[in-house]
Chains A and B, each alone.
Chain A
Amino acid sequence: MPTIKELRQRFLAPLDPTLFNTCLILTALGLIVQYSASGSDLAKVLSQMRNLGFAFAAMWVMAVTPPYKIERVVFPVYAIALVALVAVALFGEVSHGARRWLHLGPMRLQPSELMKIALPLALAGYFEWRGKAISWRDFVVAAVLLLIPVALVIRQPDLGTALLIASSGFYVLYFAGLSWKVMGGLLTAGLASLPLVWHLLHDYQRKRILTLLDPTQDPLGAGYHTLQSMIALGSGGLVGKGWLQGTQSHLDFLPEHTTDFVFAVFGEEFGLLGELVFLVAMLVIITRGFFIANEGSTPFARLVAGALSMTLFTYTFVNMGMVSGILPVVGVPLPFLSYGGTSLVTLFISIGILMSVHHHRKLVKQ
């Protein structure tokens, strides 16, 4: 019979304290800012807490599952995510001019969110499976696995999410040892093909990029978001206006202020100091993720931990860059702060996988 202490030990042991405690702090920040951003709407906060319940459960399940078991399901998960993306393209719900949502009974899913973690897992699984015989051909295969979902998401059309999915897959290639020369070549080719890409963009996408250069050009349309969020942040100053005291968000100047633009509400009310607390906490998680990656027992564990940590940073940076007006407006939620079920669950699954890699670092695959 295990004692209470042993049970607690068994239950809590996989939860890395550094990751877990930082997550708790960030989650608390998220609920606080959600209450304010929703206009003191307790129902919205409770709904987010329900999402958090699912998210923490998902994290725990991932944390207690050893990486070699996760490895077994990565291809099926990738396949499911791919099928879901095709289903969205065929009969997804159209909202704001793009086809992104899929109805499954009472649930509404964004398969592109699922793909954000399914893709790096699948690629890491592929490299692990190839074992020691990795050659340049494997990188080509991986690139194809990467480009199929990216192309599907571009067609939704959701260029922002497509780029994020592409980046999360690219990190795996990077950690797997993609040669620096190839990456240099890709960068050069990418820069050279910018005019072509520009030609292929939708009007609203071009508008967003042009608006970035001068948000005052189109203050009612594409520039509106950026201009309002810059005013919100700028007026928040060093220490902020105080919780529930933000004016920009509460007077409805700021759009999407519980989801993609929640950082503007946060920055307006808690100021630069509050933002620093958030950023440092995120850096703690990411750095911890890198350490965990470094000590991973198998290539799969290492690649997954490295890529997921880096993906987490990418979201944070892209969202904050967009809100502060140095990146174009793309629909990216800010980890921990934005409202939304699917993105919260994928975030905590990532954290759970990091915990699993750490907890099972001494466990060698049979």
Chain B
Amino acid sequence: MQRFLRNPQQERWEFQLRLKALWGLIITLCVLLLARLVWLQVISHGYYHTLAEANRISIVPIVPNRGLILDRKGTVLAENNYTYDLEINPARNKNLDHLIDQLSELVTITSSDRKLFRKALDETHGLSPVPIRNRLSETEIARFAVNRYQFPGVDIQARLIRDYPLGTSASHLIGYIGRINEADQERLDDAGLTDEYRGTNHIGKLGIEGHYEHELHGVTGSEQVETDASGRGVRSLSRIDPTAGDDLFLTVDAGLQQAAEKAFGDHRGALVAIEPGTGDILAFVSEPGFDPNLFVEGIDQDNWNALNNSPDKPLNNRALRGLYPPGSTVKPFMALAALTLGKRTTAYKISDPGYFSFPGSSHRYRDWRPNGHGMVDMHLSIVQSCDTYYYGLANDLGIDAMHDFFSEFGFGQKTGIDIDGEMSGLYPSTEWKQKRYKQDWYGGETVISGIGQGYILTTPLQLAQAVATLANNGVMMKPHLVHAIRDRATGSVREIPPENERTLPLKQSDIDFVRDAMEDVMKPGGTAAQAGAGAPYLIAGKTGTAQVVGVRQGEKYNEGRTSERNRDHALFIAFAPADKPRIAVAVLVENGGHGGSTAAPIARKVFDYYLLGRGVTPVPDNSDAGDDSAHD
């Protein structure tokens, strides 16, 4: 080699030899290629000609049946049902307008049906049958069947459609499927699932349907079909069966879910019920709901406008994404913080004049009871929800210590629930305010944070997790909605074990003290005595009120004078039985006024349903709990 470039003559000769050798290789490869082409195009031409022309082969994807969604007892929440469409084969009908006019005498055909038909016709170039009407009623099927002989080239086609038998119930939790749009398609392409979704028209968009799309979809099969010139299948050549999607068993109890939804009546709001020991979500309510069936085939403009423009915002998942000040429901956690951090003893008493103010300042942070609660210790501060007590406590704790303690309970953080779009809420700190507003923290902001006002925002789901953690003696479980997954092919059921998030460093005696006070909230003299009256089990609860509009210094909030949408939000957190908790709830009623009067009775109905069975004892209308009991 060394020799080679030194001698130009030798070098030229060697280069030429190498060119010739490669040229020989090129010719050999070309002959090989030609042989292949001759084999394809001359020898096997007949075979491929038949495949392509007389009988075209098409490879038809076989879409797997989507997995079912069931509640923890097996009640079906989402299933697949047959629906019947009327299809016209344009190749066999010349005068389509006349034909459609004739058909409209048998089945209802609206002008929007005609428009959709025209659009689909343009897209398929008249090569394949096009639907003129979807979802025929049984009478329409019967009427067409009798007159079918008059309409060659018009057929009834059966197909499976996703159905949500409970309608608006649990809609925010189940979510829905809808047609695959461009954004979905791009995501599928990037995930390498293009082939897998060939033939699939729908994809999970929200809720369980969206989060568990992978499990629910299944594996697409395929069939090689010989088709005639018009694209009609003649015979099947080979088939790879699809695998149906997995069935999902939810932690939710559909009966409890519906009882909770019913308990809301006409109120807007949210409720999350959790089994404290496992993190199983028993009910997940956001009222009002919507009918997910509307979305499956693509929602029409009128229905969309009705849902989207409604002032009640039914599409808003309040339990997952609604952000509300927690109000006085933070007080049990504040008390725990004070005990844990050693800032208060249980016996320490304050004298409440009905307001708190900083020394030397005339600004008054008012208690809800204008003349105050008198001498107040920690127990009474929870039972009567004394604001003044917590103004002072917050001032002593400081916002950063409060931030750290509440973060342990999950405030300001996503719970990691298994549906998408969760909001993380907010628990402020000096560092946060500096970052967000480039401003120093003010003492007054700490004071109002002590009663759950100010910057603090929580989702109902977060509140439910926090109270469930309290009920579970400080062991935080990750809330989840899917309890088990059933493989449709093998029938085997895989349970999803509860996940232990963390164990909070709390003293059992402190927890017991707070629980004891929360039990008394439900008894005469407590803020939710009405809702607690007559319960054959122990409830531990705490009411709360969240301001929607601020009330100026020296003015008084007057419910009667405030327009309905500006009224306070009512909140309530509770668990029961208090001595051995099986269920913990957070309830939020938008513009519901006081937690004790609107939110707590909803929780009571949920507890009764869950703990006593379907025979629900009525909540007494009148009780002797005192004038203040309805207040917070």
| A and B associate | yes
Contact residues in B for A293 (Cβ distance below 8 Å)? 15, 19
Q: Taking the nearest CB of chain A, how far is it from the CB of B179, in angstroms?
A: 20
Query: Which residues from chain B contact A100 at a C-beta distance below 8 Å?
Result: none
Q: Are A237 and B42 in contact (CB under 8 A)?
A: yes
A272-B30 CB under 8 A given contacts A177-B1, A231-B48, A299-B5: no
Q: How far is the CB of B307 from chain A (nearest CB, A)?
A: 35
**Which of these binds chain B: A6-14, A64-72, A105-113, A279-287?**
A279-287
Query: Which residues of B line the A interface, CB within 8 A?
Result: 1-2, 4-6, 11, 14-16, 18-19, 22-23, 26, 29-30, 32-34, 36-38, 40-42, 44-45, 47-49, 51-53, 56-59, 61, 189-190, 192, 195, 198, 220, 222, 224, 238, 240
Interface contact B36-A324, CB-CB below 8 Å: yes
Within the complex, the shortest CB–CB distance from B187 to chain A, in Å, comes to 12
Interface-centre pick from B47, B48, B49 (highest chain A CB count, 10 A) = B48
Select one of A97, A178, A234, A290 contacting B40, CB under 8 A. A234
Chain A 134-152: CB-based contact to B (< 8 A → 1; otherwise 0): 1110000000000000000
A253 in contact with B190 given A132-B6, A235-B53 (CB within 8 Å): no
Of residues 249 to 266 in A, which have CB atoms within 8 Å of B's CB atoms?
Answer: 251, 253
B2 touches A233 (CB 8 A): no
Q: How far is the CB of B235 from chain A (nearest CB, A)?
A: 16
Residues of A within 8 A of B51 (CB): 231, 234-235
Is B23 within 8 A of A287, CB to CB?
yes
- The reply to whether A136 and B40 form a contact with Cβ atoms under 8 Å apart is no
Best-surrounded residue of B41, B48, B57 (most CB of chain A within 10 A): B41
In the bound complex, do residue A272 and residue B5 qualify as a contact, i.e. CB atoms below 8 Å apart?
no
Interface size on A, residues (CB 8 A): 57
> Are A272 and B37 in contact, CB atoms less than 8 angstroms apart?
yes
Q: How far does the alpha carbon of A251 sit from the alpha carbon of B57 in the complex, in Å?
A: 12
- Decide yes or no whether A125 CB sits under 8 A from chain B: no
Known A-B contacts A97-B190, A234-B41, A234-B45; the reply to A320 vs B19 at CB < 8 A is: no
User: Do residues B61 and A220 form an inter-chain contact, with CB atoms below 8 A?
Assistant: yes
A-B contact pairs, 28 of them (CB 8 A): A174-B18, A174-B22, A177-B18, A220-B59, A220-B61, A220-B195, A224-B195, A233-B37, A233-B41, A234-B44, A234-B47, A235-B45, A236-B41, A237-B41, A247-B53, A248-B52, A272-B41, A275-B37, A283-B26, A286-B26, A290-B23, A293-B15, A294-B19, A306-B15, A306-B18, A306-B19, A317-B29, A317-B33
The 8 closest A-B pairs by CB, nearest first: A234-B48, A235-B52, A220-B222, A221-B195, A237-B45, A234-B40, A235-B48, A272-B41
Whether the Cβ atoms of A219 and B224 lie closer than 8 Å is: yes
Write the chain B residue with the least CB distance to A251. Answer: B56
A313 in the interface (beta carbon within 8 A): yes
Q: How far is the CB of A328 from chain B (nearest CB, A)?
A: 14
Q: Which residues of A contact B45 (CB under 8 A)?
A: 234-235, 237-238
Complex interface residues of chain A between 193 and 249 (CB less than 8 A to chain B): 204, 216, 219-221, 224, 227, 230-238, 247-248
- Taking A97-B190, A220-B59, A313-B26 as known contacts, 17 extra A-B pairs with beta carbons closer than 8 A to each other, sorted by chain A number, are A95-B190, A97-B192, A131-B5, A134-B1, A135-B1, A136-B1, A219-B59, A220-B198, A231-B48, A233-B40, A234-B40, A234-B49, A237-B45, A267-B41, A283-B26, A324-B36, A326-B36
Residues of A57-75 at the interface with B, using a CB-CB cut-off of 8 Å, are: none
**Per-position 1/0 for A316-328, Cβ under 8 A of B:** 0100110011100
What residue of chain B has the Cβ atom nearest to residue A239's Cβ?
B41
Binary interface encoding of chain A residues 89-126 relative to chain B, with 1 for a CB under 8 A from any of its CBs, else 0? 00000111100000000000000000000000000000
A175 contacts chain B at the CB level, 8 A cutoff = yes
When the two chains form their complex, are residues A237 and B15 in contact, meaning their CB atoms are under 8 A apart? no
User: For residue A227, which residues in chain B have a CB less than 8 angstroms away from its CB?
Assistant: 59
Q: Find chain A residues with CB under 8 A from B198 CB.
A: 220
Does A169 count as interface, using CB distance less than 8 angstroms?
Answer: no
Alpha-carbon gap, A247 to B51, bound state (A): 11
CB pair A230–B40 under 8 Å, yes or no, is yes
Across-interface contacts of B14 in A (CB, < 8 A) = 177
The smallest C-beta distance from A340 to any residue of chain B, in angstroms, reads 19
In the complex the two chains form, what is the Cα distance from A313 to B19 in whole Å? Answer: 13
Q: Which residues of B contact A95 (CB under 8 A)?
A: 190
Chain B residues positioned under 8 Å from A132 (CB to CB): 5-6
* A162 at interface by CB-CB < 8 Å: no
Distance from A173 Cβ to chain B, minimum over Cβ atoms (Å): 11
**Complex: A265 Cα to B244 Cα, angstroms:** 37
A179 in the interface (beta carbon within 8 A)? yes
Interface assignment of A165: CB less than 8 Å from any CB of chain B? no
In this assembly, does A353 line the interface, its C-beta being within 8 Å of a C-beta of chain B? Answer: no
Is A359 an interface residue, CB under 8 A from the partner? no
Residue A310 is within 8 A (CB to CB) of chain B in the complex: yes
Measured between beta carbons, the chain B residues less than 8 angstroms from A333 are: none
A-B contact count (CB 8 A): 137
Interface SS, A side = helix
Q: Which residues of A contact B240 (CB under 8 A)?
A: 220
Instruction: Name the CB-closest residue of A to B48.
Output: A234
What CA separation (Å) do A216 and B239 show in the bound complex? 11
- Whether A216 and B48, one on each chain, are in contact in the complex, defined by CB atoms closer than 8 angstroms, is no
A: residues with CB less than 8 A from B are: 94-97, 131-132, 134-136, 174-175, 177-179, 204, 216, 219-221, 224, 227, 230-238, 247-248, 251, 253, 267, 271-272, 275-276, 279, 283, 286-287, 290, 293-294, 299, 302, 306, 310, 313, 317, 320-321, 324-326
| Bound-complex Cα distance A220 to B57 (A) | 12
Residue numbers in A under 8 Å from B33 (CB-CB): 279, 317, 320-321, 324, 326
User: Please, how many angstroms separate the alpha-carbon atoms of A326 and B49 in the complex?
Assistant: 20
Partner of B30, one of A224, A232, A247, A279: A279
- Chain B nearest CB: distance from A265 CB in Å? 13
Return A206 CB to nearest CB of chain B, in Å: 14
Whether the Cβ atoms of A175 and B18 lie closer than 8 Å is: yes
**A70 CA / B256 CA spacing, docked (Å):** 80
Distance (whole angstroms) from the CB of B45 to the closest CB of chain A: 4
B189, closest chain A residue (CB): A96
In the assembled complex, the Cα of A267 lies from the Cα of B52 at a distance in Å of 14
A310 & B29 in contact (Cβ 8 Å cutoff): no
Partner among A247, A253, A290, A324 whose Cβ is within 8 Å of the Cβ of B19: A290
Residues of B within 8 A of A267 (CB): 37, 41
Pairwise interchain contact B16-A294, C-beta atoms closer than 8 A: yes
Chain B hits for A219, CB < 8 A: 59, 222, 224, 238
Q: Name the distance in Å between A138's Cβ and chain B's nearest Cβ.
A: 9
The answer for the CA separation of A143 and B103 in the assembled complex, in Å, is 74
The answer to whether B222 touches A324, judged by C-beta atoms less than 8 angstroms apart, is no
Contacts of B29 in A (CB 8 A): 317
In the complex, which residue of chain B has the Cβ closest to the Cβ of A130?
B5
Q: Using known A-B contacts A216-B238, A313-B26, A320-B33, determine if residue A134 contacts B4 with beta carbons closer than 8 Å.
A: yes
CB-defined contacts of B34 to chain A, threshold 8 Å:
276, 279
Give the distance in Å from the alpha carbon of A283 to the alpha carbon of B42 in the complex. Answer: 22
Closest Cβ of chain B to A126, distance in Å, is 13
Give the CA-CA distance A324 to B168 in the complex, in Å.
Answer: 55
CA distance A135 to B2 in the complex (A): 5
Q: Which B residue's beta carbon lies closest to that of A178?
A: B1
Q: Which residues of B contact A320 (CB under 8 A)?
A: 33
- Give bound CA distance, A97 to B192, whole Å: 6
Are the C-beta atoms of A179 and B1 separated by less than 8 Å? yes
Chain B residue nearest in CB terms to A223: B59
Residues of chain A within 8 A of B58, CB atoms compared: 253
Q: What residues on B are CB-neighbors of A235 within 8 Å?
A: 45, 48-49, 51-53
User: Nearest-CB distance from B299 to chain A (Å)?
Assistant: 29
Residues in B neighbouring A216, C-beta threshold 8 A: 224, 238
Closest to A326 in B: B36
- Within 8 Å by CB of B220, from A96, A131, A220, A317, lies A220
Q: State the Cβ distance, B273 to closest chain A Cβ, in Å.
A: 42
Closest to A313 in B: B26
B625 CB to closest chain A CB (Å) equals 63
User: With the chains together, A251 CA to B59 CA distance in Å?
Assistant: 13
Q: Which residues of B contact A247 (CB under 8 A)?
A: 52-53, 56
Tell me which residues across on chain A come within 8 A of B37, comparing CB atoms: 233, 267, 272, 275, 324
Q: Once the chains are docked, how many angstroms separate the CA of A135 from the CA of B1?
A: 7
